[in-house]
Amino acid sequence: MAPLRLGSLAPDFEAETTTGPINFHDAIDNSWAVLFSHPADFTPVCTTELGKVAKLAPEFAKRNVRVFGLSTNDLLDHAKWVDDINEVNNVNLKFPIIADKDRKVATLYDMLDSVEHDPTNVVNGIPFTVRSVFVIDPVKKIRLILTYPASCGRNFDEILRSIDSLQLSDKQPIATPADWQPGDDVIVHVGVSTERAKEIFPEVKEALPYLRFAKLPEEN
């Protein structure tokens, strides 16, 4: 199988989850999606991450994003673990967590760790997942890939920020600069002339011929 890259069609699959069985593409429907993996249930970093995502559920929903967790345990373990997550983080986790005990989905998305990278994340020759993140758009194309080691918890505010950038650049001929936050100035796409940019945006500042900052039009 060819490696997954930005622009690749997100592989489809069927799986059991904490909210029932799914076909992945059908479950995404016409939304955006975030698929993110966890090495195992009842692990400390993962417990904080899933709690954070549960707290951010309204923010993902606001952006038309459906969230799918994944861990390499069965549904019985998942159900017990969700109780822990809810209690420790004071949340009510409702998004599906995929039960990938046979590592079918983890293999499909190349999420598995290796002895060469982290021998503590491979037990009795069986690898657990790294902390993978796939952002997938409504036409099921992979738009962003992040990979963190098992020891490093993810910054989900950054994932939301990245989704904001992706969705905005789909609507406007722009890119976003370093540390950009919604509401900040954007960069005019290199394929747009300064003259054309001044017709599109209410304000354009040319720092360099190839670096033009712009304010976005106010939404009605």
Catalytic annotation, residues: 46
If DSSP codes are grouped into helix, strand and coil, which group holds residue 209?
A: coil
As a whole number of angstroms, the distance between CA 33 and CA 22 comes to: 14
Contact 174, 214 (CB under 8 A): yes
Question: H or E segment at 72?
Answer: none
Residue 192, token pair as written in the block = 């747009």
Q: Report which DSSP code applies to 12.
A: P
As a whole number of angstroms, the distance between CA 169 and CA 3 comes to: 25
As a whole number of angstroms, the distance between CA 110 and CA 17 comes to: 20
Residue 189, token pair as written in the block = 């796409």
As a whole number of angstroms, the distance between CA 3 and CA 108 comes to: 10
Contact 110, 104 (CB under 8 A): no
As a whole number of angstroms, the distance between CA 192 and CA 73 comes to: 49
Contact 173, 200 (CB under 8 A): yes
